[in-house]
Structure 1
Amino acid sequence: MKALYSIAKQLNWQPEQFIDCPKGYVRVQVAAAGLNRADLLQRQGKYPPPKGITEALGLECAGIITETNQVTNWQVGDRVCALLAGGAMASEVVIDARHLLPVPKNLSLIEAAVIPEVYATAWLNLFQIAQLKSTEKVLIHAGAGGVGSAAIQLCKAFNNPCWVTVGSQARLDYCLSLGAQGGVVRTENLDALTKDAPFDVILDPVGADYMALNTDLLNVDGRWVIIAMMGGHKAEINLAKLLAKRIQLTGSTLRSRDNDFKATLIKGLTDKVWPLFETNQLSHNLAKSFAIEEAEQAFEALASNQINGKIALVIN
């Protein structure tokens, strides 16, 4: 068994100790793992795994079940994809069986490897935390990334018009092709969003740089969910506007949630989201794949901010 680690910020595909498969868990031979911005941050020492979780990289993967331990709803040979708190970039993983999802019939294992983390994040924050209702308007910052791509398609599928901010016209065109109603290139004219405001929900991985903007753009009783801090972690906020509009401001992370919370989230995805892949209402958004031996190039590609959608690392 091998796994991908960051040691002194250098990527190492190295031997790993054999892991037992306890009751309620399954062993999966990993075909591919998704690469996320969280992996870039962990490599930089800025996003360590939760206590008790392996230091190996990776939050999602897909593969074939090779062992079950008193688990009755999965069988050896099943194609599955999985949400993990760490260690997905490995030749095999042992995972709580409740955190598995079936690979949609029309997706390959490599395509399926890049969907659990971003669709779980988008579904959790838009539809569970923000309680998004049909026809409510959404603003998605960093719309061309993995979570943004998933969020746009979920909004379209559940009848929520959405707008985006992105880094280039090419990325805006990509978001429009997924179903966004409109948007702006952040280096050109963010204020142009005022013509489409007010928004009922803002999904925000930027943070500090957009505090004033978001406060102005939100509707009365608007919900603002911060899921990352790409634009910094310290800012001033106009509390008078926050109070006047009754804005709900929430900070949200998924990785550190406990196993029971994630199991409930996965059950909701299985019932309400996963069927939409087989009807082609949702896409995997896989932009590029790299062999695990090319992990350095894959990390560089994601860090370049030129990738629309997701990157996969192919392992077996």
Structure 2
Amino acid sequence: MFDSVPGYEGTSGGGDGAYLPPPMPSMPMPVPEASSHPEWHDNIPSISEGRAWEAFEDYVSSKCCYSSGPIRDGVITNMESFAPYRYRLETFTEARSTELSQEPYTGQCVDAGIQRAPGPWEIAAQPPSYFTEHEDTIRVPYTSSLKKCEPCDGMGMKPCSSCTGTGSKVCSQCNGSGQCADNNTACYNCNGSGREKCSSCSGSGSKMCNTCDGKGKLLVFVNLKVKWSTEKDDYVAQDSSGLRMEKLVKVSGKELFRDAQIMVYPVLGFPDVSVAQASERLIRDHQVKYTKNSRILQQRQTIELITITKVNYTWKEKPYVYYVYGNELKVNAEDYPATCCCCSVM
């Protein structure tokens, strides 16, 4: 049926429609002229010994099975500051797919064939604020038609599954014998018949069809699914602190650079060549990857200086290390020496 709707051939139900490639841009994006960036700030911020120990204390107190002994008796012996650059590219995309949907017919407009249905990318959809995840469902105009409900063959009623359409079931009290087991008298529940009225269908033998709500007809139409997503990739310049770089994903740093437009272009003139190369590589990768089945609405690139403080301390004459990192002063202490149970390291 829907093979006859131009632009929606092969649309199927079940919500598993593939994402549709967007139309080609009417003209290529203009390449901006090279612009000068503000002076890059590459000094390494640091925190005080007192602040580093306070962050450590807060971290330990948040762990139910960490003893406070190292906090009471531990002594900082050395602190080192590191500040790797983190380049982040975010691409805000819109993807569209279609699926065949249906609902009970109660007099809704049937408009298939009145005029050409708009194509999936011709339908207006209001995006949320940039870099906000959201999904929307829009009924495609001029695709609605009627069909007979197949489960009930258009009758609106189906045989009751509990009693197989008979309206009665074996009596639950006498198990179909018609007699009471204790005194051989007629069963009071079924009056000796051995069968009782089916409670599911109230004895009618049929129930309303749930598919069509008893209408016998279904309105069938195409739904457009629109999904807005933010695709993100990070690059952290080489760092010798020893902290695992995946720890930096959820923290913020000192922002050195921010650029947002429909299509961003690689960072120019950055003192760390690896960051400039990462910018060029990730921008190219995003444009290739996310223009196949979606369209890019906005991109944003940032460069941050992430502060990492490596703290060496001793407790009971043994050396240990913990890290304080990010503006949020997150702590990582994988070798914390005083746990009272087996718990996962966070």
Would the TM-score normalized by the shorter structure come out above 0.5?
Answer: no
Which of 1 and 2 has higher RCO (CA within 8 Å, sep 6+)?
2
Give the number of the structure whose residues are more often helix, by fraction.
1
**TM-score between the two structures when normalised by the length of structure 2:** 0.18
Q: Which structure has the larger Rg over C-alpha atoms?
A: 2
